Amino acid sequence: MNLATRLITLLAISMLMVGCGSSSTASTSSNSSEDKHITSVSACSLVTASEASTVAGSTLTDLTASLPQQVPGFCFYGAQDSSAGVVVYAQIYADRATADQVTAAEFSAALQAQLGNGATSAKEVKGIGDRAFEFNSNGNAGEGLVIIVFKYNVIFMIAVDPSSNPGAIESLAKTAVGRIK
């Protein structure tokens, strides 16, 4: 399975896990500073092609529009030779309580079902969003990392293949959280 297909499959799994929400590609609005309600977010605005390239260690371009099927809330940066890729997926929920019902165990089970022994259980990462969980995976391009971040009523995923540097994906996730306003 090539890198784009593998990452799209990972996206499909994530969509199954977070299918109750809605995604969008416009800007955001809020209620209060404590419990903002996000009305829309663009996955490609959470992570830029330059940032994706840095974390993947390869020059990546936005290939989202060239994919055979367009998926709302989805952004794909890939290398021309399919040696590296970054998937960003953002899902908006009606409210924080609904988003909080999604668990890391559900993501972990879905990733393990798709990636077999190449996926590990979730590791909670402190200091990113309201909560965040990181997974390792092994794919065609090598070791990869996936981080799932919960912020307000938004859940987003960043999958990097290859990457074995948790600090880089965690830093990227922190930057993405700062763009949710």
- In this predicted model, what pLDDT tens digit does every residue of 55-111 receive, in sequence order? 888 889 888 877 766 677 888 898 887 788 888 888 888 888 888 887 766 666 665
- In this predicted model, what pLDDT tens digit does every residue of 112-123 receive, in sequence order? 555 554 455 678
What b-and-e string marks burial along 104-118, b requiring 16 or more CB atoms within 10 Å of the CB?
bebbbbbbbeebeee
HEC assignment per residue over 122-178? CEEECCCCCEEEEEEEEECCEEEEEEEEEECCEEEEEEEECCCCHHHHHHHHHHHHH
- In this predicted model, what pLDDT tens digit does every residue of 142-164 receive, in sequence order? 678 888 899 988 888 888 887 76
Q: Using CA atoms, how far apart are residues 127 and 77, in angstroms rounded to an integer?
A: 26
**Is the pTM higher than 0.75?**
yes
Q: Which residue has the tokens 């908006």?
A: 92
- Does domain 3-178 fall under CATH 3.40.1000? My reply is yes
- Residue bearing the bigger pLDDT, 26 or 169: 169
Domain ranges in the chain are: 3-178
